[in-house]
Homo-oligomer: A and B are copies of this chain.
């Protein structure tokens, strides 16, 4: 049996990758050896953060063996987790999402809080245990919270996230505003991704009652520029819908500077989106002013209207 593995969700984002690295450090401080791994390619924002603070990317895995001991961070839904998760021994979860499509045969550690970022909870765990956080690790944690809260502009942000950002910036010694903007901008350089890659980069599967859905999101500093590739996105989305039997695919292009989004919506069940947001799709798209958070502003709307 391999040693215990710790990982975040598929289509990893900065919080998921940083959470896995931070949790492996936390476990080491508890005297346990665990290995941080990842379930997909790093996006450019995450690469920027790892590089800035001098961390290697965790090893990529695609499945796990029956009985493997694991710690999940930044997710719990099996559909977002590694292949084989149903037969793993889940020892611990630290997360900030709803709980769904998750179960275990035995009691475990589970810690969820409705804050903007997993690393905000991890920071509390370090403090509760009296563990020190070094400069580099504080930088990683800071990057994760900046990413998940879009530099404190997302409605998912809580007071605890804001306090955590300030505290971590102090430890790591960077100006969180200028570093944060630089990091987020690094993530918006999407020019060398194919349309297929872009709709898969940060994509979550979810069930809307009996409908199968995917909601993908990319960050940009220029929606107009991104929308020039609309036809390519539509081809890629149609292909995904067919391959995976989806009822609806929502692709959200979010302007992180202006805090708006443009959605492209395809599938047999686009009326869920139209009903939820109270607007007709025009040429498969709709503009969503003020919408930046999939978790808080998109998924609940779709769930309630399915």
Contact = CB atoms under 8 A, between A and B. Distances in A.
Contacts of A98: 103-108
Contact of A112 (B96, B110, B303): B110
Q: Which of A110, A300, A303 has the most CB of B within 10 A?
A: A110
Contacts of A114: 106-109
Query: Quick one: copies of this chain in the complex?
Result: 2
Nearest to A76: B99
A109 B111 CA distance: 7
Main secondary structure on chain A at its contact with chain B?
loop
The 3 closest A-B CB pairs, nearest first, are A107-B114, A110-B112, A100-B103
A112 B94 CA distance: 11
Contacts of A105: 98, 300, 303
Nearest to A112: B110
A210 interface: no
Nearest to A106: B98
A192 B164 CA distance: 57
Contact of A107 (B107, B110, B112): B112
A97 interface: yes
A177 to B, nearest CB: 26
Contacts of A106: 98, 114, 300
A41 interface: no
A296 to B, nearest CB: 9
